[in-house]
Structure 1
């Protein structure tokens, strides 16, 4: 009978030890630290936490990586304070902070939570987020006292926020590694600009290197058309915060967004059955994505031999070698005639582009596009307008003033937006004439092809080839003469 209490105590201790073992799978407690050589694994076996080195470096860092792709480190704690030996320990200190200790028990890194946590526990979640919470409270996000998702390194994971806490003023952004083997903070950052309509941009120090178009309610302009197949972009704006994030569309596909040491933003995907990442895209993709490549009031066309062209209604205001100017983005385009609201002016639609940067602008969310045109027409310094929101049938009025900077003609795989640029009426007539000429050429070619098909069907192959070559030359000469005469007549009629 006396052995019964001992049996009860033994069972209690055994159950307690099992509980501690289960916690040890993905958690850190004051009694269960992580030493160099040990790791934690999230419950879904997706992420792993521990110490690592890169390349030939002996520096040791505490971080998180994909379990089946250990080279893919997604977060690093002590980027500025590497350990130089194998005696590092990550544990929870007396006041409840997560701390990294060196061999002499000095704190190398800390979560720096000011409020004391009674029953602190740190847990590696299936999302890749390392959270510090009170083990006695509920496990919802409101109970987190600290989380690694609030302190990104060079990688944006699904569910991680890139943006601003508007109450505290804290900004979350990506910072590149210094080199492929050195995770200390590098030269480049990737951030959310919340000045006006938000956009994403890459910066070197305080200098903007590349940017997306503004958020239009559906996507960031000038980004690849991959949405709804791999990930869904989300922009959240309320009184407390404004941030960009993305979520997975298909849970069998993993995707990450990284900022590499050269300043490129890259998106990768990995399928469940694989352990290798495939790059979906990298930006800047070409020279046109370098910020302001062609200077003010110009459009950059990467597929043209001369990549920079002045917008219609503008002409080059810079003398010198245009090829050098195009290469370094120093070209300046000025209006052919000054906008003064005293002469006939209209708006020329430029479709499917990356919208210019919001340097001087005005946003009126309550207006539709027709009202926006009228509002822009009344203001002599309004140089362009467009919809601010493309969701539904489109809404909102976005107006630009002064120079238009960083416009790109986008290839088909990129998502662009329309803008309407203020020009003299003569420019609208010129555009209309060019479109008529193009339609006439197409109509002539189609008609000739149809007639010839029936006329020479009985000829032998060699005779058909000789006849078609001669006919094409005659059509080209005659059409060119006709269009020149037609153009001269139109110009004469306009000037009269």
Structure 2
């Protein structure tokens, strides 16, 4: 009798186990599965989850939208999407399938088996494997090759959406011209490419990061140029000390910015939102939402591009014409409308006695009409600027080891601001007529 009861109990347990197995198989992949192999696929409701349960990949429908997308989000905060595959080709129905093509590409198929997105791998893979890493990077490689970064056939980190995660690059491959850039969502409910991009502007060996409105290519914010130590217009971001390490790469192959997180319990992301503001979020992994906003770019009115117009300087939200200049439209300035900028009070004409006024701790003007000589001293730069009747101002291009290199501005000076604190900004020398030279300072 006792033996029969045991047999009945075992049979019941077996039926329960089988029932659970069927349910799990029907619903989809195990929540701990981070790898998808050949002949496997993911449908709506199924997900990949990174091994340490940080990131999750699957299909989502944002906000009030009726469209579906393949994306990656934080496991603890599903509403915080950090990457979207089919931004340009949403699925109108919840029937998308992520699988592999015959040549090993990762492909997203719609209800009619049409390809709406593909990884477009550079080589044919015989046994493709895709894995969601704890970094949030979705990587594709051949099963019988190494899984090191160099062996990845494709990775999502090379194709950012609106978010920069630790280990992702933002910049430019100088050999191929390939760009790593952020593109904002169209709206809170629409992850299609929006109105703003965050990219590296590189020309003549000079570079800076900019937030640009796609329609009309108008700038909303710029970091200021790299001066060998930092971007001249960016003070340090107030993030936990020694927790985040910024890494800037500048060589013959690439110019790029990335960051690493030194404390494993912290998560950091930089997101370009749909209104064109780059936001820095830091949170502890134990929390349930990515809501700790640490910094924004632009962070104040002086950070807004060309806030004060030409030949003017912004300080503490107020605009002032540079000495030797006056408002081009005084009536507009009286009502705090500064876009018309400033013009010279007394034109310069390369006459004897002209010189320069020094302004310290300034965000140098935009790189619109400049010349660069990396081997010229500051003294020689001054002499060359005086010889050139079009030269409006000059500064060192590199501040390391006492300063070197010569930057000369040959047109209006755009988007300048003065910082209150030491070690922010740089020294700029602005040309004045002989009668206007004298004591005047913006940064005591």
Q: TM-score range by the shorter chain?
A: 0.7 to 0.9
Contact 2:364 2:428 in 1 (8 A): yes
Change (3 A) 1:112 1:294: same
Query: Are 1:242 and 2:255 counterparts?
Result: yes
Residues of 1 paired with 2:405 and 2:288: CA distance? 45
Tell me which moved more, 247-256 or 63-72: 247-256
Residues of 2 paired with 1:119 and 1:104: CA distance? 25
**Equivalent residue, structure 2, for 1:257:** 270
Tell me which moved more, 207-216 or 91-100: 207-216
Contact 1:269 1:279 in 2 (8 A): yes
Q: For each residue in 1:110-161, what CA deviation from the matched residue of structure 2 results, as whole angstroms up to 9, or x when unmatched?
A: 1122531122111112221111111211222221221111111110112212
User: Normalized against structure 2, the TM-score is what?
Assistant: 0.84
Residues of 2 paired with 1:223 and 1:255: CA distance? 19
**Equivalent residue, structure 1, for 2:305:** 291
**Equivalent residue, structure 1, for 2:3:** none
Computed over aligned residues only, the root mean square deviation of the Cα atoms, in angstroms, reads 2.7
Q: For each residue in 1:239-284, what CA deviation from the matched residue of structure 2 results, as whole angstroms up to 9, or x when unmatched?
A: 3332222233544322111111111111111123433431111122
What does residue range 15-54 of structure 1 map to in structure 2 within 5 Å?
A: 25-54=33-62
Residues of 2 paired with 1:168 and 1:58: CA distance? 38
Contact 1:267 1:280 in 2 (8 A): yes
**Equivalent residue, structure 1, for 2:156:** 148
Residues of 2 paired with 1:251 and 1:398: CA distance? 42
Contact 2:61 2:68 in 1 (8 A): yes
**Equivalent residue, structure 2, for 1:388:** 397
How big is the shift at 1:221? 2.4
How big is the shift at 1:300? 1.9
SS in 1 for 2:203: coil
Change (3 A) 1:220 1:233: farther
Aligned residues: 410
**Equivalent residue, structure 1, for 2:63:** 55
Query: Are 1:224 and 2:235 counterparts?
Result: yes
How big is the shift at 1:378? 3.3
Query: Are 1:271 and 2:284 counterparts?
Result: yes
Equivalent position to 1:407, from 391, 412, 416 = 416
**Equivalent residue, structure 2, for 1:463:** none
**Equivalent residue, structure 2, for 1:363:** 372
- Structure 2 gaps of 5+ residues are 1-28
What does residue range 156-175 of structure 1 map to in structure 2 within 5 Å?
A: 156-175=164-183
SS in 2 for 1:164: strand
**Equivalent residue, structure 1, for 2:343:** 334
Higher RCO by CA contacts (8 Å cutoff, separation 6 or greater): 2
SS in 2 for 1:382: coil
Query: Are 1:109 and 2:117 counterparts?
Result: yes
SS in 2 for 1:322: helix
Contact 1:223 1:414 in 2 (8 A): no
Contact 1:102 1:108 in 2 (8 A): yes
Query: Are 1:310 and 2:321 counterparts?
Result: yes
Contact 1:133 1:144 in 2 (8 A): yes
User: Normalized against structure 1, the TM-score is what?
Assistant: 0.76
SS in 2 for 1:404: coil
How big is the shift at 1:207? 1.7
SS in 2 for 1:239: coil
How big is the shift at 1:359? 0.9
Query: Are 1:323 and 2:331 counterparts?
Result: no
**Equivalent residue, structure 2, for 1:456:** none
**Equivalent residue, structure 2, for 1:131:** 139
Contact 1:193 1:199 in 2 (8 A): yes
How big is the shift at 1:200? 1.1
Tell me which moved more, 204-213 or 384-393: 384-393
**Equivalent residue, structure 2, for 1:188:** 196
